[in-house]
């Protein structure tokens, strides 16, 4: 099966930091898979995602998306990839529609296309009645759902989401997860991060555990549970490999 993402020995050390955020990280994401990038706080998940979408330059190593280099081919990658960042990337003083027109036009989409795609996604993610309200007035779950819509207007074949369900209620989470399953079933690839092991177990074909900027282990949640001694759930596997000490 071809890879949507190939990451080879990525190294990144931020200016002024004592230790690297990524320390030779290698991992692959198969096309048409849902892959969970898991790791404790500070493991390097967001840094990895930011390198993939060209926001952060790696010190060493290489990352490609559908064969395009994440440093050199950023325009091609932007067309193929939707990124939902960890922080809400919407203007709070604008309505959802105003935000979507802003983002859609940055991608070079015609207003007619933005309207069609936006309407469809608003209905699918339960925001159609709120699209003319300012995003600043939205609940946490609504902001997360609007954040996802903005990243999908250009119909990317790869969706990268950084903690898309952080801080949302059970209903919004269920809606987001069902939406991601549906998006995947249309032949698209998803890389996503979460601290919720049950959630990853539910939607991921494969999970990759990283810690301190390094690859730890990967596999299907079932396979990892079956192959790790005394583990009944993915959370046990996660703790087995990353330990119990909190990260400061």
Ligand X SMILES: Nc1ncnc2c1ncn2[C@@H]1O[C@H](COP(=O)(O)OP(=O)(O)OP(=O)(O)O)[C@@H](O)[C@H]1O
The residue range among 53-61, 82-90, 141-149, 240-248 that interacts with Mg ion, by the rule CB under 5 A, is 82-90
Q: Which does 130 bind (CB under 5 to 8 A by kind): Mg ion, ligand X, none?
A: none
Per-residue CA distances from 132 to 50, 93, 152 (Å): 30, 11, 19
Positions in 65-94 near ligand X (CB under 6 A): 86
Positions in 224-243 near ligand X (CB under 6 A): none
Q: Which does 17 bind (CB under 5 to 8 A by kind): Mg ion, ligand X, none?
A: ligand X
Per-residue CA distances from 198 to 76, 165, 216, 233, 236 (Å): 34, 12, 19, 8, 11
Q: Which does 26 bind (CB under 5 to 8 A by kind): ligand X, Mg ion, none?
A: none
Is 46 a binding residue for Mg ion by CB under 5 A? The answer is: yes
Nearest-approach distance from CB 46 to Mg ion, in angstroms: 3
Binding-residue total with ligand X (CB under 6 A): 12
| Of residues 10 and 34, the one with the C-beta less far from ligand X | 10
The residue range among 84-92, 101-109, 165-173, 238-246 that interacts with Mg ion, by the rule CB under 5 A, is 84-92
Neighbours of 169 (CB within 10 A): 12
Bridge partners of 36, per DSSP, are: 192, 207
Its sign, for the CA torsion 146, 147, 148, 154, is positive
How many residues in the chain?
A: 248
| Of residues 121 and 208, the one with the C-beta less far from ligand X | 208
Residue whose C-beta lies closest to Mg ion: 46
Q: Which does 42 bind (CB under 5 to 8 A by kind): Mg ion, ligand X, none?
A: ligand X
- The contact mask relative to ligand X for 4-43 (x = CB under 6 A, - = no) is ----------x--x---x-----------------x-xxx
User: Which residues form the interface with ligand X (CB under 6 A)?
Assistant: 14, 17, 21, 39, 41-47, 86
User: Which residues form the interface with Mg ion (CB under 5 A)?
Assistant: 45-46, 86
């Amino acid at each position: 099966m071809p890879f949507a993402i190939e990451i080879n020995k990525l190294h990144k050390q931020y200016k002024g930091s004592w230790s690297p955020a990524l320390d030779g990280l290698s991992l692959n994401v198969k096309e048409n898979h849902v892959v969970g990038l898991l790791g404790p706080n500070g493991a390097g998940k967001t840094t990895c995602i930011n390198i993939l979408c060209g926001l952060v330059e790696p010190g060493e190593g290489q990352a490609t998306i559908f064969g395009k280099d994440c440093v050199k081919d950023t325009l091609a990658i932007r067309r193929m990839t939707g990124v939902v960042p960890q922080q809400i990337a919407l203007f709070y003083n604008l309505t959802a529609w105003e935000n979507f027109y802003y983002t859609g036009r940055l991608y070079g989409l015609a207003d007619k296309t933005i309207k069609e795609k936006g309407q469809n996604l608003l209905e699918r993610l339960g925001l159609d009645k709120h699209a003319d309200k300012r995003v600043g007035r939205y609940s946490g779950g609504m902001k997360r759902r609007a954040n996802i819509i903005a990243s999908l207007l250009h119909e990317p074949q790869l969706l990268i989401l950084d903690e898309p369900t952080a801080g949302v209620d059970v209903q919004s989470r269920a809606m987001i997860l069902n939406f991601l399953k549906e998006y995947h079933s249309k032949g698209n690839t998803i890389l996503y991060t979460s601290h919720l092991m049950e959630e990853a177990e539910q939607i991921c074909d494969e999970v990759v555990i990283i810690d301190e900027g390094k690859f730890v282990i990967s596999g299907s949640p079932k396979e990892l549970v079956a192959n790790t001694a005394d583990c009944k759930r993915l959370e046990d596997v996660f703790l087995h490999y990353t330990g119990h000490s909190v990260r400061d």
